[in-house]
Chain A
Amino acid sequence: MTTTSPPQPGDLSLPARPGWPDATGHFGIFGGRFVPEALIAALDELTEAYEAMRVDPAFLEEFARLQRDYTGRPSPVTEVPKFAAHAGGARILLKREDLNHTGSHKINNVLGQALLTKRIGKTRVIAETGAGQHGVATATAAALMGLSCTVYMGEADTRRQALNVARMRLLGAEVIPVTTGSRTLKDAINEAFRDWVTNVETTNYVFGTVAGPHPFPAMVRDFQRVIGDEARAQVLEREGRLPDAVLACVGGGSNAIGIFTAFVGDEGVRLVGLEAGGDGVGTGRHAATITGGTPGVLHGARSFLLQDENGQTIESHSISAGLDYPGVGPEHSYLHQIGRAEYRPVTDAEAMEAFALLCRTEGIIPAIESAHALAGALVLGRELGASGAGGRGGEPPLLLVNLSGRGDKDVETASAWFGLGEDAAPTDEDDRAVEEGRGADPGPGLDTHQQPTEGAVSNDQAVAGQDAGETA
């Protein structure tokens, strides 16, 4: 922690940039550049252009303007007391990246890299995508800035995130389903690198997370740190104090680094990354890279990864396409190694429970990725409550959760998980029902197992809307 200066009491200004990585992109033993020589010139060009752009007032002004007028920043902080009622007495604040244009934090990074692409005079961008959010964001920025755009997406993901495939195509991007390997994000990254090495003269690779070779981990962090910079000031302003813990889901790790960075120097603030535990880390079917992996080299950097005894990457498993990745950004491996951040697994089932709870209690449908962070907050809140370790000054613990994206893209997956799909889909029976004026059966909905609020009318007692006039 010696390389960041902790903010002074009462100092609301932004904390300094962390002292890592070093000039060649190393976070301790992690990071670096493990790529074919053919890409080194492009990576050097990017690094140099980025270092110049980063401090260029014209860029900073344009970037700020886009964030404000296009993305809709700053994103608000929302307290969710009814959700937090399940968190052992903790209070929970959400940083609302789901409200950004395109629906997730990914747009923050992409606008920066698209401006950089124009600055280095390239006309085509490529991207990998898992959940499709980074692909949608890249397609959006490409449309905005007049760049042509190709997005690589694992074939398995094109199916579970079909909505986002359609969005990318509407935005004018070419979506290439990748059919090699596990047909998910890791293979999409391989294909994107192959494209880049072949077309590097015209093409910039807009990498979607804080992984990959230097300068991507540091550059993407810089573009995403706006999340934590804003949130830290917002929490200080409304609460007069810092949160006790900051939580975020970790796929490659960009939304987590984005919200962590401002707090790294605040020693009293716990930083908690939630990894995708899939069926459970013990089953081997998961994507909890730091919890269940070992250090190695994948996709251009040294970091934790899921690998077998031969050094082959093990396929990851998660209900969440955006977290279904067997690697993780090198800065997370470093924060784990130095003990500054902790990483915990959240199973599919725990994430989906938190997903449903937020929908029902607060009227917010989160991305399934973000639901992992929500589940982590429920657990941490209960732990803090049970141990009597409250927040500062005897107040309830205050948890800040990065709600990295909204759940529109996940509606099908969630419907299938909760068994809503078949009941909710229109059937012949429904058509007849509609003709007879009874209305279609909407299916049980999520609340069949919930206790009705006292004194309230339950769904099956209530008069259906279309009949209301007859009985009133």
Chain B
Amino acid sequence: MTSRLAQRIEAAKAEGRAALIAYLPVGYPDVEGSIEAMVAAVEAGADVIEIGVPYSDPGMDGPVIQEAVEVAVRAGVGLRDVFRAVEAVAAAGAVPVVMTYWNPVERYGVERFADDLAAAGGAGLITPDLIPDEAGEWIAAAERADLDRVFLVAPSSTDARLRSTTAASRGFVYVASTMGVTGARDTVSDAARILVARTREARPGIPLCVGLGVSNGAQAAELAAFADGVIVGSAYVRELLEGRGADGVRALTADLAAGVRRAGVPA
């Protein structure tokens, strides 16, 4: 009944650093290539892999992730491939958490999904378009299968919503640092620091991981000063889109892993 995500993030904290969470979608450039990239990220120092389920209408993603995911969707990549990736990441020694838009889970069957994810060794689910208000069936299934459920908070969330959303979360809370879609940004906004502080007040104790826009070690270091984990997505996908493959993923991970270990310099 303890969260493996929370445990891993706490372990990083005990080392005096933030956790590094790497997002990669299953199926780009193909299923094998994506699993190789995930394993490379684990070997180079990622603590958690956020395993993306390809979806035809990724409303929260910017052009970089859209481009990769469209290839996977066209190739017919589905949840069976996702569970293979989960097994591979677990075997490589990181904690696998699945990130998915809601419809693929609803289509697969919520109960069946929870069972199969747990059986594959997955820790839980990040749901960018499922808010706790609509998540009754998922929360019940996750409870039964002992899975984490990671919901998002945003700069526009009211204090009341920060309380209800964090109360429904287990594992960590995904702090979406800016208003917008995924994609690398030059500056990590001040909004992230403010939102982390507000969320911490809403529910002290639950790990808070910041994502949206982080692309390099310097930004990771900046966030590591106040967040429990740093989530990097588009920058990883760009490595693959630009053909640098597992080597590119390893190099990026090394930079980010050094970043989360630097005593962050508040901007």
Name A's B-contacting residues (CB within 8 A). 24, 32-42, 180-181, 186, 190, 193-194, 197-198, 200-201, 296-300, 302, 307, 309-313
Contact = CB atoms under 8 A, between A and B. Distances in A.
Contact of A297 (B60, B106, B158): B106
B104 interface: yes
B129 interface: yes
Interface stretch (B9-17, B38-46, B148-156, B240-248): B148-156
B131 A37 contact: yes
B254 interface: no
A310 B76 contact: yes
A289 to B, nearest CB: 14
Contacts of A38: 152, 154-157, 176, 179-180
A40 B78 contact: no
Nearest to A200: B179
Given A33-B133, A298-B103, A312 B55 contact: yes
Q: What is the interface of chain B mostly: helix, strand, loop, or mixed?
A: loop
A41 B105 CA distance: 25
A282 to B, nearest CB: 22
B106 A310 contact: no
B62 interface: yes
Contacts of B56: 181, 312-313
Contacts, number: 114
B220 to A, nearest CB: 22
Given A34-B102, A37-B157, A194-B62, A298 B152 contact: no
Contacts of B155: 38
Report, nearest first, the 6 A-B pairs whose CB atoms are least far apart: A311-B107, A38-B154, A311-B104, A310-B78, A41-B156, A198-B180
A36 B154 contact: yes
B66 interface: yes
A389 B134 CA distance: 45
A190 B104 contact: no
A237 B179 CA distance: 53
Interface string B43-70: 0000000000011111110100010001
B contact residues, range: 35 or more
A46 to B, nearest CB: 13
14 contacts: A34-B102, A34-B131, A34-B134, A36-B152, A37-B131, A37-B153, A37-B157, A40-B154, A190-B57, A197-B180, A198-B180, A297-B106, A310-B76, A312-B56
B234 to A, nearest CB: 14
B131 A33 contact: yes
Interface in B87-110: 102-108
Q: Which of A33, A186, A300, A312 has the most CB of B within 10 A?
A: A312
A200 B73 CA distance: 29
Contact of A312 (B59, B73, B165): B73
B181 interface: yes
B165 A37 contact: yes
Interface in B136-192: 151-158, 161, 165, 176, 179-181
B25 interface: no
A37 B154 contact: yes
A194 B58 CA distance: 10
A72 to B, nearest CB: 36
A151 B260 CA distance: 41
A195 B105 CA distance: 26
B233 to A, nearest CB: 14
Given A38-B155, A309-B78, 19 more contacts: A36-B154, A37-B161, A37-B176, A39-B156, A41-B156, A41-B157, A41-B158, A41-B161, A190-B58, A194-B59, A197-B60, A296-B103, A309-B107, A311-B55, A311-B105, A311-B108, A312-B55, A312-B73, A313-B56
A299 B57 contact: yes
B111 to A, nearest CB: 15
A313 B70 CA distance: 12
Nearest to B151: A37
B83 to A, nearest CB: 13
Contacts of B70: 180-181
- Max chain A Cβ within 10 angstroms of own Cβ: one of B55, B107, B130: B107
A193 B66 CA distance: 14
A186 B56 CA distance: 10
Q: Of A24, A37, A296, A309, which is in contact with the most chain B CB atoms at under 10 Å from its CB?
A: A37
B79 interface: yes
Contacts of B107: 296, 307, 309-311
Contacts of B66: 180
B156 A313 contact: no
A143 B205 CA distance: 51
A40 B156 contact: yes
A190 B105 CA distance: 20
A204 to B, nearest CB: 14
Given A40-B156, A194-B59, A311 B106 contact: yes
B128 interface: yes
A198 B181 contact: yes
B152 to A, nearest CB: 5
